[in-house]
Amino acid sequence: MSGFQLTVNGVVRRVDDALAGESLLYVLRERLGLPGAKNACEQGECGSCSVLLDGELVCACLELGAAAADCEVVTVEGLAPAASEPADGLLTDVQRAMVEAGGVQCGFCTPGFVVAIHQLLAREADPAPLQVREALAGNLCRCTGYGRIVDAIERVVVDRRVPLPANGRSEDSLS
């Protein structure tokens, strides 16, 4: 079949070698060199393949790649500050909080959670506990028991409320 194009992390990408039945997840991982989204259940149940499609959180495994033509996709690789490669080690505040709070064990669910958490906090800066749980209901973790993932989110919510100046000290702590 003829190829298609879609915008991924702000860059227009051409896909010519995909087979028509490939999911967006497969296209991202195997055709576009973006293995951040993970293929665990491929049924839309675990959320490890979560990406943003035209601004909405979806499971990439349930999207037919060719049907995502001309759409805008954001993957976990696209969340880090602009002008950085993942290898530079620059992390978003959510990623850093997940690491520091102990919300990452095997790491397989982590990219999906990171995308879902970014989307949650973009829509609601101070979500109530039930809102957090409902927003993450589509992301499963078999390692952490979720407690430290929730802790990580709380850290981010607090840190985003009080932005630190460049010297890392909050204004309240001037001595």
Partner 1 sequence: MTVLTPTRLDDALRALAEDPSTTILAGGTDLMVGVNAGARRPERVLSLRRVEELRSWRRDGDDLVIGAGTTYATLLHSELRELAPGLAQAARTVGSPQIRNTGTVGGNIGTASPAGDTLPVLAALDARVELVSASGRRTIALDHFLVGPKMTSLSPGELVAAVRIPVASGPQEYLKIGVRNAMVIAVASCALVVDPTRQRVTCALGSVGPVPIRDRRTEAWLSSQVDWRVGRVRSASVAERFGMHMASAARAIDDHRAPAGYRRHAVAVLARRAVERALT
Binding residues (CB under 8 A) for partner 1: these are 1, 19-21, 23, 42-45, 47, 50, 53, 56-59, 61-64, 66-67, 69-70, 116, 119, 134-135, 137-139
Q: How many CA atoms lie within 13 A of 141 on its CB side?
A: 24
127 phi/psi in degrees, rounded to 5 = -70, 145
Please report how close the Cβ of residue 115 comes to partner 1 at its closest, in angstroms.
10
Closer to partner 1 by CB, 24 or 101: give it. 24
Structural element, H or E, at residue 56: strand 56-59
Please report how close the Cβ of residue 165 comes to partner 1 at its closest, in angstroms.
35
Spatial distance between the Cα atoms of 56 and 76, rounded to a whole number of angstroms: 14
Closer to partner 1 by CB, 59 or 104: give it. 59
Closer to partner 1 by CB, 1 or 166: give it. 1
Closer to partner 1 by CB, 130 or 174: give it. 130
Please report how close the Cβ of residue 31 comes to partner 1 at its closest, in angstroms.
15
Spatial distance between the Cα atoms of 124 and 106, rounded to a whole number of angstroms: 28
3-state secondary structure of 102: coil
